[in-house]
Structure 1
């Protein structure tokens, strides 16, 4: 049965105002936190270990927790309306489940689980990259505990992936080298970190429920237990390289270019992962997504217009990515993931 705001209790306010974030100092979490704060509609609280040295966006409230003491997590989440989980791949595997179970005990109705990537309906890609079954299990646990989820399907993070070294989009800016998968013409959907932040803020700034049966406006409830599909660009490696050359003022002759078969590169990365060398994970993930005989173009599903997201400049986003190189090189633990 549809739920309407008119049928709620007298103290019900038809808005998501209190949001908790795990990882508000991280790559994607900081962009989401900043975008939420920018709306002026949300109080953002981050969960943080007491001994953490993480820095958070100005305006974010900090709740200290002990991840080995569920009571501290439940206490931090009490009164929150939605929990956003953003975690690095290096986080302990049981952390997500601990957070979700605590959220259920704290009475939180909605969770945005960890997993800001490709199409959740692309089962084969999810299986081949090992990300799909984990993300599905996370969503299933949320439902099993009586809550509802919203997840972001955005493709690769454009600026982050461009800056992330040879294992991602193939660029090594220090060496001025590029590894191209096959012929470099396979296109894939990507989203900038800023666009992802804007999309989450847009969805969480909607009314929670329709006012009544005559209210046809877009509400948060329309996205429950579904993916929010967005994109910034649908590009090939050759498209990216053209943009990089424009931004850096370089030509082909100034770059060392090698070609690799995407399927062989995927198998090589997978073999590394299977023996515990997680340096192969990014290699496997990106090579698999650039297979020449598959499409990872999310344009048909993208809800940019619905969410009134802005069009972006590829070259400006490329510059942001290049400027991000040095910062990512300082995060050795992320680069190894």
Structure 2
């Protein structure tokens, strides 16, 4: 780090062009291009550079859910020592390389599980979002150094750009985000990384057709508005790689939201690729306006059908004409390089997804 040394800082030296060799040595000066004087000098501050020690021990919360397998695989491939949190009474079978900590999500049980861990990666589902507040507190108490919250998908930093009703549905995630940043500001040992990935396309196509409106087995699609709104996505295997590489580069990824892009789609482009890979036949298409979808979502909220409401309002967040809400960023402006995330070919990717669906 360097700072221009002004004449005032050089005490009684009125003209830097007359600085002698002895004075330059005394004040640790080197010539530099700082202003219009014949010769300028730069003060070299001797600062001690500190580096974050490498992480090794990583524990994953929510690993039995949809995101878990990809995260665990990537962490294991990256040679981390991997543990998971598992609810007491759960019989879920994890890979043999994983150490399992049973928890009731109380502060004492979380603290016991987190003690000795370098990082906590949370991939909890919607019902477990607020449990992360207790997890953050436990991580802070026992010396964990990095916390990755379960905030994949929409960009929580872009609250003004969100569809207003969708913003309301993000309340719990925003509460967790605010708490995490506050705790990390108070406890400098703990840092955070938030991954902004856009919609998780492989999950929607393979496991939850209603989420993005494409049902491969039924060869049916719901197209909202014109079908031309841009959406950027990152599949689960690439998200796993991003998580692992964020932990491999703790200094470069500390206290930052990082954005990834593997695919940029529109509904129409995705539909065309799916039709081509499923025999070339035209799919059955239902067309819906995002305005009507939001209205239906609000009715479902009133009826306490929150899962159905989320799908309706998510459609407006992603697909409303004239918006780019779900175009997280371009590949060039993303953090792909830092995180080792690849840009994928849509046709090749869809062909692979169709094969996986056919094999089920």
Structure with the greater alpha carbon radius of gyration? 2
Count of aligned positions:
304
Distance apart, 1:272 and its partner CA: 0.8
Is this contact kept in 2: 1:126–1:133, CA < 8 A? Answer: no
Is this contact kept in 1: 2:192–2:254, CA < 8 A? Answer: yes
Which residue of structure 2 aligns with residue 76 of structure 1?
A: 113
Deviation readout 1:136-178 (Å, 9 max, x if unpaired)? 3212212333332111101000111223555322122343211
Deviation readout 1:232-285 (Å, 9 max, x if unpaired)? 111001111111122212321xx2112111122122123212331022212211
Which residue of structure 2 aligns with residue 310 of structure 1?
A: 342
Is this contact kept in 1: 2:130–2:176, CA < 8 A? Answer: no
Which of 243, 250, 259 lines up with 1:200 in the alignment?
243
Higher relative contact order (CA 8 A, sep 6+): 1
Distance apart, 1:6 and its partner CA: 6.0
Output the CA distance in 1 between the equivalents of 2:294 and 2:207: 17
Is this contact kept in 1: 2:153–2:196, CA < 8 A? Answer: yes
State the SS of the aligned residue for 1:46: strand
Output the CA distance in 2 between the equivalents of 1:103 and 1:202: 21
Is this contact kept in 1: 2:261–2:343, CA < 8 A? Answer: no
Distance 1:165 1:95, change over 3 A: closer
Which of 80, 84, 99 lines up with 1:46 in the alignment?
84
State the SS of the aligned residue for 1:27: coil
Distance apart, 1:319 and its partner CA: 4.2
Distance 1:315 1:59, change over 3 A: farther
Output the CA distance in 2 between the equivalents of 1:148 and 1:7: 15
State the SS of the aligned residue for 1:221: coil
Distance 1:280 1:128, change over 3 A: closer
Which residue of structure 2 aligns with residue 98 of structure 1?
A: 134
Output the CA distance in 2 between the equivalents of 1:70 and 1:131: 26
Which residue of structure 2 aligns with residue 250 of structure 1?
A: 280
Counterparts of 1:313-332 in structure 2, within 5 Å, are 313-322=345-354
Distance 1:182 1:19, change over 3 A: same
Distance 1:123 1:114, change over 3 A: same
RMSD: 2.6
Determine whether 1:272 maps to 2:284: no
Is this contact kept in 2: 1:186–1:291, CA < 8 A? Answer: yes
Distance 1:170 1:240, change over 3 A: same
Output the CA distance in 2 between the equivalents of 1:73 and 1:15: 23
Output the CA distance in 2 between the equivalents of 1:60 and 1:193: 19
The two structures have a TM-score, normalised by structure 1, of 0.82
Distance apart, 1:290 and its partner CA: 0.9
Is this contact kept in 2: 1:203–1:307, CA < 8 A? Answer: yes
Output the CA distance in 2 between the equivalents of 1:5 and 1:96: 35
Output the CA distance in 2 between the equivalents of 1:38 and 1:137: 33
Which residue of structure 1 aligns with residue 171 of structure 2?
A: 133
Distance apart, 1:88 and its partner CA: 1.4
Distance 1:137 1:326, change over 3 A: farther
Output the CA distance in 1 between the equivalents of 2:204 and 2:72: 20
Determine whether 1:23 maps to 2:59: no
Distance apart, 1:286 and its partner CA: 2.5
Which of 209, 221, 228 lines up with 2:258 in the alignment?
228
Distance apart, 1:24 and its partner CA: 1.8
Deviation readout 1:13-51 (Å, 9 max, x if unpaired)? 8211111110222211221111011012x1111011231
Counterparts of 1:101-116 in structure 2, within 5 Å, are 101-116=137-152
The two structures have a TM-score, normalised by structure 2, of 0.77
State the SS of the aligned residue for 1:35: helix
Which residue of structure 1 aligns with residue 22 of structure 2?
A: none
Output the CA distance in 1 between the equivalents of 2:359 and 2:126: 18
